[in-house]
Structure 1
Amino acid sequence: MLSSRHLIFMEVARLLSFTKASQTLFISQSAISKHIKSLEYFYKTGLFERHGNHISLTKTGQALYDKLLEASQLQESLHQEIQQLNETFRPPTKLAIGASTTISLYVLPSVLSAYLRQYPNLQINVLNRNSNNIQNALLAHEIDVGIVEGLTQVNTLTYTPFMTDDVLAVCSGKSPLRGRALVVADLPTIPVALRENGSGTLAVIDDELDKRGIPVASLPVLIRLGGTEALKNFVLADTCLAFLPKRAILKELAAGELVEVPIQDLTLQRTFYFIQRKGTESNQLVNTFIQFTKRHYSNRE
């Protein structure tokens, strides 16, 4: 097993912050510093360089971190193999999941509740970011598996289709846009609120409009907002147009607080994918979660 000192080092190295590692590990900064100094004494060299309020890994620290990541994956594989041979072996297990906003808010809660009832020894951490940031977090080994909208695919990751979701053009119930039927050529004349760069929803809109000769840059963008909820709340308070995932606005549509604004010949649909680092596709813990999530989701549809 990896020692507690090495696990603490890995968290500091991952976050490049003693303060953040203290918060995620629930250990005082002084205790973390003692463990790091103990490792530096053992390896007879520094593992971090201090730059005022910031730290970075030394060459030795980076080498140690890279090897510990490999060792962590081997340990997880060993635990899974032993568990197959001996069902009574139940080591405390952690699963780090990253998901884009729609999945984190509207799909995962029910999945994770059911999953934890079946696997009570599992500790789950969920990172909620836009799709681009989730992809980067997976590449940086900050999470074990991600669920993202379709992006430009990276050749060091594998992509497994999960589900599709419609993106609707909507306005508030008090907007003068209510009741109008638009064509794509109208869009450069209509104020719009959009998601931030890196959002999978924005990528779908950008791609479809670009095919029709209307780049997103040509739209009169009032504001860009990080997160579906922030965008939804802005549109509820404003009279502009916005593009929002249907799954995120079902209640508001039913109540008439938001109204779909049909745009002729424009259908926006996005596909969500499970993403894994190549070489980790045999990770039983991740694969069990993926299969459970697919099954749970299909049963609810």
Structure 2
Amino acid sequence: MLSHKHEIFLEVARLLSFTKASQTLFISQSAVSKQVKALEEHYKTGLFERFGNSVALTPAGRILYNKLLQAKQLQHELHQEIASVSENFSPRLHMVIGASTTISLYVIPPVVSAYLTRNPNILLSLKNRNSENILKALLDHEIDLGIIEGIHKVSNVTYTPLLTDDVVAVRSSRNPLKKNELEAKDLYDIPLALRESGSGTLAVLEEALAARHIRIADLPVRVRLGGTEALKNFVRVDTCLAFLPRQAVVKELASGELIEVKFRDLALVRRFNFIQRKGTENNLPYKDFVQFTKRYYSK
């Protein structure tokens, strides 16, 4: 069993911030500093180099961090094996994952509910940001598992496919556009409402248009909105055309509140992927969550 001091050290090392660690652990920053100092006195060496508001691991700190990650993995494996033979053994675990906006709103909630029902000893925190910022959170060690749209070609990140979803063009009944089938070149003459930079939905659209030699910058974009819900709520009452995940507009398309506009020459398909830092793919309980989610959506 890892000591309280070592658990605190792990959180500071993961986030490289005493302030952030105190927030996630729900203890004061002074208490965090006191426990780390006690470890440094125990090991007779510094574990962090301090640079104003930021910190970095010393060589000793890096050794301790890597060994504690291994110990934490063994601890979780031990807990799982003991739990398999002892019904009353149920240790508490805290998972921190991140997901892009669409995934957080429409894909992951039913999975999380089913997973927590099966694993009542787990507390799960979900960070909701666009794909680019979820990747950054992973690289900054704010999270240990992310789910994003597309692949961002980062060398120290592994990508595990989850599922695919269509991006569809939609308009409200107020939109004067009467044709419900267009070509990509028609976008030069249609007012658009799009997601913000860093959005996976926007990246899919940009890639498809680039294949047609069309740049977003050359189109009549009237507004950019952060978040799927914000864009959906805007286009429902406006005359702009928007591109949204099909999963986000299923109800509105069925009710007629939004109308799908098809494109003969654009294929807009998003691929959702798990992301993890290389070397952490087998860390539990995140490995279990990845496998559970893939099974859930393979049914």
Which stretch shows the higher mean deviation, 197-206 or 140-149? 140-149
> Judging changes above 3 Å, is the alpha-carbon distance between structure 1 residues 70 and 37 closer, same or farther for their aligned structure 2 residues?
closer
Paired residue for 1:116?
A: 116
- 1:28-107 counterparts in 2 under 5 A? 28-39=28-39, 47=48, 49=50, 51=52, 55-57=53-55, 61-63=57-59, 66-83=62-79, 85-86=81-82, 87=84, 88=86, 90-107=90-107
- 1:8 Cα offset (Å): 3.1
Which stretch shows the higher mean deviation, 15-24 or 75-84? 15-24
Q: Secondary structure at the match of 1:262?
A: strand
- 1:211 Cα offset (Å): 0.3
Paired with 1:178 and 1:69, the residues of 2 have a C-alpha distance of: 61
> Judging changes above 3 Å, is the alpha-carbon distance between structure 1 residues 12 and 234 closer, same or farther for their aligned structure 2 residues?
farther
Paired with 2:271 and 2:47, the residues of 1 have a C-alpha distance of: 46
- 1:234 Cα offset (Å): 1.9
Q: Secondary structure at the match of 1:143?
A: coil
Paired residue for 1:151?
A: 151
Paired residue for 1:226?
A: 226
- 1:1-301 counterparts in 2 under 5 A? 1-12=1-12, 14-15=14-15, 19-39=19-39, 47=48, 49=50, 51=52, 55-57=53-55, 61-63=57-59, 66-83=62-79, 85-86=81-82, 87=84, 88=86, 90-299=90-299
Q: Secondary structure at the match of 1:188?
A: helix
The 8 Å contact of residues 47 and 60 in structure 2, kept in 1 or not, is answered as: no
Q: Which TM-score applies when normalising by structure 1?
A: 0.86
> Judging changes above 3 Å, is the alpha-carbon distance between structure 1 residues 263 and 136 closer, same or farther for their aligned structure 2 residues?
same
- 1:128 Cα offset (Å): 1.3
> Mind listing any 5+ residue stretches in structure 1 that lack a counterpart?
none
Residue-by-residue CA offset, 1:209-232 (whole Å, 9 max, x unaligned) = 000010122112222222111211
Paired with 1:152 and 1:21, the residues of 2 have a C-alpha distance of: 28
Q: Secondary structure at the match of 1:146?
A: strand
> Judging changes above 3 Å, is the alpha-carbon distance between structure 1 residues 71 and 23 closer, same or farther for their aligned structure 2 residues?
same
Give % identity.
56
- 1:20 Cα offset (Å): 4.2
Q: Secondary structure at the match of 2:207?
A: helix
Which stretch shows the higher mean deviation, 6-15 or 98-107? 6-15
> Judging changes above 3 Å, is the alpha-carbon distance between structure 1 residues 65 and 116 closer, same or farther for their aligned structure 2 residues?
farther
Which stretch shows the higher mean deviation, 114-123 or 186-195? 186-195
- 1:13 Cα offset (Å): 5.2
The 8 Å contact of residues 130 and 200 in structure 2, kept in 1 or not, is answered as: yes
Which stretch shows the higher mean deviation, 244-253 or 174-183? 174-183
After TM superposition, which residue ranges in structure 1, 4 or more long, deviate above 6 angstroms? Answer: none
> Mind listing any 5+ residue stretches in structure 2 that lack a counterpart?
none
Paired with 2:16 and 2:158, the residues of 1 have a C-alpha distance of: 27
The 8 Å contact of residues 138 and 145 in structure 1, kept in 2 or not, is answered as: yes
> Judging changes above 3 Å, is the alpha-carbon distance between structure 1 residues 50 and 276 closer, same or farther for their aligned structure 2 residues?
closer
> Judging changes above 3 Å, is the alpha-carbon distance between structure 1 residues 257 and 101 closer, same or farther for their aligned structure 2 residues?
same
> Judging changes above 3 Å, is the alpha-carbon distance between structure 1 residues 264 and 148 closer, same or farther for their aligned structure 2 residues?
same
The 8 Å contact of residues 132 and 151 in structure 1, kept in 2 or not, is answered as: no
- 1:198 Cα offset (Å): 1.6
- 1:208 Cα offset (Å): 0.6
> Judging changes above 3 Å, is the alpha-carbon distance between structure 1 residues 12 and 77 closer, same or farther for their aligned structure 2 residues?
closer
Which stretch shows the higher mean deviation, 90-99 or 209-218? 90-99
Which stretch shows the higher mean deviation, 207-216 or 88-97? 88-97
- 1:295 Cα offset (Å): 1.9
RMSD: 2.6
- 1:267 Cα offset (Å): 1.9
> Judging changes above 3 Å, is the alpha-carbon distance between structure 1 residues 129 and 281 closer, same or farther for their aligned structure 2 residues?
same
- 1:233 Cα offset (Å): 1.6
Paired with 1:4 and 1:28, the residues of 2 have a C-alpha distance of: 14
Paired with 2:120 and 2:295, the residues of 1 have a C-alpha distance of: 19
> Judging changes above 3 Å, is the alpha-carbon distance between structure 1 residues 46 and 73 closer, same or farther for their aligned structure 2 residues?
closer
